[in-house]
Amino acid sequence: MATILETAAGAGCFNTLLAAVDAAGLREALESPGPFTVFAPVDDAFSALPPGTVQTLVDNPPQLARILKYHVLAGAHNQAALVAKEQWDSLEGAPIPIRSVDPFEVKNATVVTADIACDNGVVHVINRVILPG
């Protein structure tokens, strides 16, 4: 089985996320044993942000890291576990609301693919970038 980042690289639709992880200096953390639960926005989710947003974040690694950490939970949590609670604390510190079961929604994003098991956690693919606050 592959790690979270290896799985993302192999999928081919997380190029912006992987570049952001590198720009924020989070690769080593996400390659560690974890486990982690990652809500992974697809490339189209980053493309939907206002023009210039991604570049502005890449130019501000601490802010980028904060946003990326908001997409991560400590521990490996599948969909069944996640929907059992109304919110979960992200690694960034702010809570992530779980909005519904069907469709499975995390804050303002819909989970398009859930429960991708990895060596160091679980990935849930989302269609939007989620922001703390």
**Tens-digit pLDDT profile for the chain (133 aa)?**
899 999 999 999 999 999 999 999 999 999 999 999 999 999 999 999 999 999 999 999 999 999 999 999 999 999 999 999 999 999 999 999 998 778 999 999 999 999 999 999 999 999 999 999 8
Contact 128, 48 (CB under 8 A): yes
Radius of gyration of the chain (CA): 13
Say how many CA atoms lie within 13 Å of 74 toward its Cβ.
Answer: 6
Domains in the chain with CATH codes: 4-126 (2.30.180.10)
Side-chain half-sphere CA neighbours of 2 within 13 A: 10
pTM over 0.75: yes
Exposure string of 4-43, with b = 16+ CB inside 10 Å and e = fewer, is bbebbeebeebebbbebbebbebeebbeeebbbbbbbbbe
**Considering only CA atoms, which of 94, 92, 124, 87 is closest in space to residue 109?**
124
pLDDT number for residue 113: 97
**Cα–Cα distances in angstroms (integers) from residue 49 to residues 25, 53, 72, 90, 91, in the given order:** 22, 6, 20, 21, 22
Q: What pLDDT is attached to residue 100? A: 79
Return d(Cα 106, Cα 88) in angstroms, integer. Answer: 10
The pLDDT score that the predictor gives to residue 99 is 84
Q: What is the Cα–Cα distance from 101 to 122, expressed in whole angstroms? A: 17
pLDDT recorded at residue 9: 96
